A and B are shown apart, each in its own frame.
Chain A
Amino acid sequence: MSIRKAITELLEADVISSETAQRIEAYYQSKSAHRANLPTIILTVLGTVLVGLGGILIIGHNWDNLSRFVKTLIAFLPLLTGQAACAYVLAKKRDSAVWAESTATFLFFAVGACIAMLAQVYNISSIEGQFMLSWFLLCLPLAYIMRSSTVLMLCVGLATYYVGETRGNLLYLALIAATLPYYYGLMRRATPSRFGYLLSWLLPLSFLVAFGVMLDHAHYTLLFIAYVALYAFLYQLGGIPLLQRQPAASNGYRVAGLLGISVMLLMFSFSWYWDELADNASRYSSDGSFFQEQHVSNILCAITLLLNLLTLLLYVLHRRTFPSKPANPIAPIAFACTLLVALVVFTSATHNSAAIMVTAAQWAVNILTLLLAVYYIRKGDRENRFAKLNYGLLLMAGLVACRFFDSNLPFLLRGIAFMLIGVMLILINSYMHKKRQRHVQS
């Protein structure tokens, strides 16, 4: 509900006086006047980028006819223009977010265009990632000096591209670390920044991409459990006080963590995963290793353990900071999955009751997934939150669907079961809606 509507409603209900209403309205108007208008910034930035690109395309049409000297001069034009514009903004329009964002973004692209054009003029083939790294290092300070969140987000994009191009160079971690002070500044403001919310999605997505690139040589059975550890870590990270202040949908750490864990649990609920895990462990145990590519597997195991430790640390800190809040089961479930994988690998490698362990692990994961679904259904009902309730219902429905695909039941029975699940979803949502309406009326 908008502020204005809320004020009108309160006035009509005689909750506030007209004088109070005017003071509230004046307060919010003064806040929005100083606040950067996100749509305006985005459109202005887009406009400057298009102007720059249009210029490059026009020049590019006659590129071959120009001498090397002229091409070099043209390559520097956008860069010098961008630097002059940024210097002007720093000197005269420091308080204007629109000016700062648009000039800084223009300069960001001008730096990249200059290096790229010179590489074309001199036919320079860069070493993998070198161009991205240079561009990042020359532009990240711009984000801090000009206070440009757009440039910072573009730098996160560059770092992600860099880790992909270099197939997992660890320098990526240092590049991301360099963006964190700015991000921290955005998130600790009394008035939350919408750029902060965007970064709260961009950073976890960047981690997920980098993680996959860094470990793509690993066997997928180990990669899955490493991802479970990463998702649990992201979920727990999203629960720290600084990040928990933002709206739930803006907390990319929690959303990505929860969705990721759900998908992984559903995949673990199938027997083929545990059979494959056990098979690999027993196959390679004869030469003293657990998996093919032992070196990569060792690194993956170490990373999984480290992530679990960090998750445990965050979990304990969260419980101490919010002792009255009920414990969330995500982290314990992730630890349990890691333990199950370790047990299956160990028993398979030592040929010690492996078949029993495989069956037990699959059953355990199914029970854990069911418990997670029930937890969110109850939580959604208690807190009157449709999103949590429906997430729990969908997770349960997904688990049932996976079991049906996994089994040899006739189509008729499967069809009836799906219909029952659909009816259950409709009835529960309807019950919740009526409950909410009764609560409002009372």
Chain B
Amino acid sequence: MSNRKTLLMLLFAALAIAQLFIPIRMIISKERMFSEGVAYKFRIVPVDPYDPFMGRYIVLHFELSTYEMYEGREPVFEPGQEVYVYLTTDSEGYAAIYSVDSQCTMEGDCLLVKVEYDHGNALLLNFPFNRYYMTEDAAQAAERAYNRLSGDRERMYALVRVMDGEGAIEGVYVDGVRLEDYLRTVHDYDEGERTDTADTIPATVDMDSEVGTEERT
């Protein structure tokens, strides 16, 4: 094998390793978050009915995106600035913010987010996990379910694993059931048959399993 050919093969091998390293690192980081991260339930708020259910994912809007501050507070953060929000759980078990800071220095779970706008008495925040990928059929069914359930803040939430300032969506749940499984109980979208009339939609879905701990098989 000539020297030039050997050099090219070595360079290609290095490139191939880099091409594998990036996705593998992505996987390891997320899997570690799912196994060791703290689980928080983020309430999902209703959005414009003509919302961007674009193709193969749904866009999630969180109740926590608007964080009320105290009256009389002056705006401090710039639009686009990255800040840390400190998370806790409220009395109903859902995620709540108890503090916002430019650095993660205090005890507790902190999450890196972006400030969309600082009004002074309220902060508009952009969370880094606002997409939930689904197949095209499921996304359309999810859109119908989403619109029907909109306004009922207790029923729909995203389970997010938080670790080292980062968060990852483990799943979207309705009445404690994964959205994909919920859709199958009310709407057979694989067959394209609509069964989700007002008479057939259950008010709640009975479930026995714990939230966010089952691995999909």
Complex contacts, B27 vs chain A, CB 8 Å: 72, 118, 122
Complex contacts, A125 vs chain B, CB 8 Å: 128-131
A124 & B16 in contact (Cβ 8 Å cutoff): no
Also in contact, A94 and B5, with CB within 8 A (given A63-B135, A122-B30):
yes
- Could you say which of A72, A86, A115, A121 contacts B22, with CB atoms under 8 Å apart? A115
B23 & A114 in contact (Cβ 8 Å cutoff): yes
A83 & B11 in contact (Cβ 8 Å cutoff): no
Give the Cβ gap from B119 to chain A, nearest Cβ, in Å. 24
Complex contacts, B138 vs chain A, CB 8 Å: 64
B209 lies within 8 A of chain A by Cβ = no
- Could you say which of A67, A120, A121 contacts B56, with CB atoms under 8 Å apart? A120
Give the Cβ gap from A165 to chain B, nearest Cβ, in Å. 15
Proximity bits, B107-127, A CB within 8 Å = 1, else 0: 000000000000000000000
A87 & B18 in contact (Cβ 8 Å cutoff): no
A68 lies within 8 A of chain B by Cβ = yes
Complex contacts, B13 vs chain A, CB 8 Å: 87
Give the Cβ gap from A99 to chain B, nearest Cβ, in Å. 14
A134 & B22 in contact (Cβ 8 Å cutoff): yes
Name the interface residues of A83-105: CB closer than 8 Å to any CB of B.
83, 86-87, 90-91, 94
A76 & B23 in contact (Cβ 8 Å cutoff): yes
Give the Cβ gap from A65 to chain B, nearest Cβ, in Å. 9
- Could you say which of B23, B30, B129, B130 contacts A115, with CB atoms under 8 Å apart? B23
Complex contacts, B12 vs chain A, CB 8 Å: 86-87, 90, 145-146
B201 lies within 8 A of chain A by Cβ = no
Complex contacts, A91 vs chain B, CB 8 Å: 5, 9
Interface residues on B, range: 20 to 34
Name the interface residues of B113-169: CB closer than 8 Å to any CB of A.
128-135, 138, 168-169
A122 & B26 in contact (Cβ 8 Å cutoff): yes
Interface residues on A, range: 20 to 34
A75 lies within 8 A of chain B by Cβ = yes
Q: How far is the CA of A104 from the CA of B217 in the complex (A)?
A: 35
B15 & A141 in contact (Cβ 8 Å cutoff): yes
Q: How far is the CA of A76 from the CA of B215 in the complex (A)?
A: 21
B216 lies within 8 A of chain A by Cβ = yes
Proximity bits, B29-60, A CB within 8 Å = 1, else 0: 01000000000000000000000000011000
A123 & B129 in contact (Cβ 8 Å cutoff): yes
B19 & A138 in contact (Cβ 8 Å cutoff): yes
Nearest residue (CB) in B for A125 is: B131
A141 & B11 in contact (Cβ 8 Å cutoff): yes
Complex contacts, A393 vs chain B, CB 8 Å: none
- Could you say which of A68, A72, A75, A79 contacts B19, with CB atoms under 8 Å apart? A79
B20 lies within 8 A of chain A by Cβ = yes
Q: How far is the CA of A61 from the CA of B137 in the complex (A)?
A: 10
Also in contact, A83 and B19, with CB within 8 A (given A64-B138, A123-B133):
yes
A142 lies within 8 A of chain B by Cβ = yes
Name the interface residues of B79-109: CB closer than 8 Å to any CB of A.
none
Give the Cβ gap from B216 to chain A, nearest Cβ, in Å. 5
A90 & B8 in contact (Cβ 8 Å cutoff): yes
Nearest residue (CB) in B for A139 is: B19
B18 & A123 in contact (Cβ 8 Å cutoff): no
A138 & B129 in contact (Cβ 8 Å cutoff): no
- Which residue among A61, A64, A75 has the maximum number of chain B CB atoms within 10 Å of its CB? A64
Complex contacts, A79 vs chain B, CB 8 Å: 19-20, 23
B9 & A142 in contact (Cβ 8 Å cutoff): no
Q: How far is the CA of A141 from the CA of B19 in the complex (A)?
A: 11
Complex contacts, B131 vs chain A, CB 8 Å: 123, 125
Complex contacts, B175 vs chain A, CB 8 Å: none
Complex contacts, A127 vs chain B, CB 8 Å: 128
Q: How far is the CA of A138 from the CA of B25 in the complex (A)?
A: 14
Also in contact, A118 and B9, with CB within 8 A (given A123-B132, A124-B30):
no
Q: How far is the CA of A258 from the CA of B56 in the complex (A)?
A: 43
Proximity bits, B178-191, A CB within 8 Å = 1, else 0: 00100000000000
- Which residue among A123, A138, A141 has the maximum number of chain B CB atoms within 10 Å of its CB? A123
A64 & B135 in contact (Cβ 8 Å cutoff): yes
B216 & A145 in contact (Cβ 8 Å cutoff): no
Complex contacts, A192 vs chain B, CB 8 Å: none
Name the interface residues of B172-217: CB closer than 8 Å to any CB of A.
180, 215-217
Q: How far is the CA of A63 from the CA of B136 in the complex (A)?
A: 10
Nearest residue (CB) in A for B1 is: A91
Proximity bits, A116-158, B CB within 8 Å = 1, else 0: 0011111111010000001000100110011000000000000
Smallest CB-CB A-B distances: 4 pairs: A120-B133, A122-B30, A123-B169, A83-B16
Interface residues of A (CB under 8 A from B): 60-61, 63-64, 67-68, 72, 75-76, 79, 83, 86-87, 90-91, 94, 111, 114-115, 118-125, 127, 134, 138, 141-142, 145-146
Q: A68-B216, A111-B19, A125-B128 are in contact. List 10 more A-B contacts (CB 8 A).
A: A63-B135, A64-B134, A64-B138, A67-B215, A79-B19, A87-B12, A123-B169, A124-B129, A134-B22, A138-B15
